[in-house]
Structure 1
């Protein structure tokens, strides 16, 4: 097994075991806990929350690195492998947590995320990963933060001790995403990748079939590509930003004795298995429909399997840590941090490893964006204390 994959799995088991143990300990002795220990508990929660944010940001910013130089075709097969790995992570989490109650409504959040993720490949083909990531991260931040802060979609509004600082932090995080757009990158397509998918016949009706990476977006004009890509990126951001709503809705109605969700767990990680099951189910449905549209000749690149699985493991761990951050810090604090800091991590990969950013002017803009990200994340963090 790849040593990096082994390290990720070990880190996941250790982190989740620690979080689960702390959660169970709280349930066991919460009623007997002295009032004087509140400050200690708050400090512990903040520590767990910010560590979870850090791990989540690093993994979100790095999860596509394993597949950067791997041919993924039109992306549908890659997404299915990615989602299979994500569901595998949730299975491990479910075992660690002793199979908490499964709420089917949470699967809707997973399906919403998977629907947004289907648009990623067309977005990259039309407006590029940089601009696409800027747009969907911005709308993800806005919807996720605002729905938690103002109580949209039937969930309770979350409060922080310093609301003005929280507003400023969210605004600076959004501004940093805009600044990243002005960093010009030099991305070269790999020439060593696979050229022919596994399940495409080499000869059909005595004619050689040449596998390409073309799709419907390649027939669009440059202007239409930008419009379509920008629209899809907005849709993806809105879907990503609303994927946590079912979990927050259930948690907010757990105290209502007349609600069907009465008594539901307040520990966010208890909902991971249902969320990831929705992701895998929706992605499987989309892949089956894709195979039918392609007349059972999907583009399946075998070299994308292991890197895609590793990418999914990293994404699954990152989102588990996001759930923990939501629990310990609240979504109104975690969303601005986790939706913007990964852009900084991804940019560091581009600068230090892949040499995508060149030129003094680009470095200056990038450093300015880094400062904004760090400032926004710190303001958002201190708004909770």
Structure 2
């Protein structure tokens, strides 16, 4: 184990390791920015069934990876990260319904970046802090990321309420609301005023970003404590991809629990839209591969570098889908704001990345 770790660390320090890390980051950016596109034009009911299909597909990706890696040791704590991610992910459908794919992803990606960077840079939640060669660049990058998140709030998206789109309902609802909604195909989102749609969508996107930015903490915790002789995790693998199966199992288990609770609340009459099954499966495969690449990027670049790149980059891809294909973002004012935000977040990401190089 020690010799393998030493060899891996040596690879990380050379050009090959950096090439693998940055290539993995670029693949993650592309897939995370596009993974919801296959299902965007399909009605997914209230979204809970779509989430379960998505997470089942994600778990199958991890199963393949686990077999390829010859079934490394399963650490249950790594499942907690998957539980955190799945909890944040139940907000995605109403986010896309209220403020659109482009703006929604930009907001939760920015919050994701800030949360992930803070935890890895300062060692929150019991993980070791990441040291950087140029702290001032690191702080500038974090500050620009916060600024970009604020600027994104001024982008106005145009979501057509009569078009087929992703929709969702709260996991738990009171009897009055539930009795009305079961008999109608109209979701709770469709009943909101434009102002409340924007407020709720932006708020949920921030919450989702916080959960997304925290999901790697359990794996980083295991890796850090594996280096300590007195820890129960002593000797655990330093290769991040070895934790993918446990992490993704947490995602699938949590989504299954939420779906069963939802079915109970709906009195065993969940809204299931069969046309969303294949698109949801494809979406899950894209996300699963993208997240596996993120695990690789964490290994070869470290989380303090991979987070600014991967958390910020998908916003550009998603916004291009929103502008060029779905026509959610229109008008010169919005284009100018988007360009400004992209420039700021790109500068912030580069500052954060180069702060350790």
Check conservation: 1:166, 1:333, Cα contact below 8 A. Answer: no
Structure 1 unaligned segments of length 5 or more: list them. Answer: 1-23, 196-208
Q: Shift in Å at residue 42 of structure 1? A: 2.7
Cα drift, residue 378 of structure 1 = 2.2
- Alignment equivalent of 2:126, drawn from 154, 161, 171: 154
How far apart in 2 are the matches of 1:185 and 1:256? Answer: 50
Q: Secondary structure at the match of 1:94?
A: helix
What is the aligned partner in structure 2 of residue 7 from structure 1? none
Per-residue Cα deviation, 1:139-180 (whole angstroms, up to 9, x for no partner): 322221111000111110011222211222232233333333
2:285 corresponds, among 291, 313, 327, to 313
| 3-state secondary structure, aligned to 1:30 | helix
Residue-by-residue CA offset, 1:357-384 (whole Å, 9 max, x unaligned) = 3333332222222322332232223223
Q: Which stretches of structure 1, 4 residues or longer, exceed 4 Å deviation after superposition?
A: 124-132, 189-195, 217-231
Please give the alpha-carbon distance, in whole angstroms, between the structure 1 residues aligned to 2:166 and 2:331.
Answer: 32
> Structure 1 residues 92-101 or 165-174, which shifts more?
165-174
How high is the TM-score relative to the length of structure 2? 0.86
Deviations 1:279-311 (A, max 9, x none): 000101111111111111111111100100000
User: Any conservation in 2 of the 1:268–1:323 contact (CA below 8 Å)?
Assistant: yes
The two structures have a TM-score, normalised by structure 1, of: 0.80
* CA RMSD, Structure 1 to Structure 2 (Å): 2.9
Q: How many residues end up aligned between the 2 structures?
A: 343
Deviating more after overlay: 340-349 vs 230-239:
230-239
Tell me which residue corresponds to 2:174.
none
**Rg: which structure is higher?**
1
SS of structure 1 residue aligned to 2:27:
helix
Q: 1:290-369 residue pairs with structure 2 within 5 A?
A: 290-369=262-341
The alpha-carbon distance between structure 1 residues 194 and 29, as it changes in their structure 2 partners (threshold 3 A), is closer
Look up the match of 1:272. 244
2:176 alignment partner in structure 1:
none
The answer (yes or no) to whether the contact 1:89–1:316 under 8 Å persists in 2 is yes
Q: What is the DSSP-based 3-state SS (H/G/I as helix, E as strand, rest coil) of the residue aligned with 2:154?
A: coil
Q: Is the 8 A contact 2:141 2:351 kept in 1?
A: yes
2 CA distance for matches of 1:322 and 1:194?
Answer: 26
Question: Which residue in 1 is equivalent to 2:227?
Answer: 255
- In the aligned structure 2, how far is the partner of 1:264 from the partner of 1:29? 14
Structure 2 runs not aligned, ≥5 long: 168-181
Check whether the contact 1:350–1:356 (CA below 8 A) recurs between aligned residues: yes
The SS at the match of 2:125 is: coil
Work out which of the residue numbers 98, 120, 123 in structure 1 matches 2:70: 98
Q: For structure 1, which segment, 233-242 or 106-115, has the greater mean C-alpha deviation from structure 2 after superposition?
A: 233-242
Q: Is the 8 A contact 2:105 2:314 kept in 1?
A: no
Give the conservation status (yes or no) of the 8 Å contact 1:194–1:301.
Answer: no
Once the two structures are TM-superposed, the CA of residue 53 in structure 1 deviates from its matched residue by: 1.0
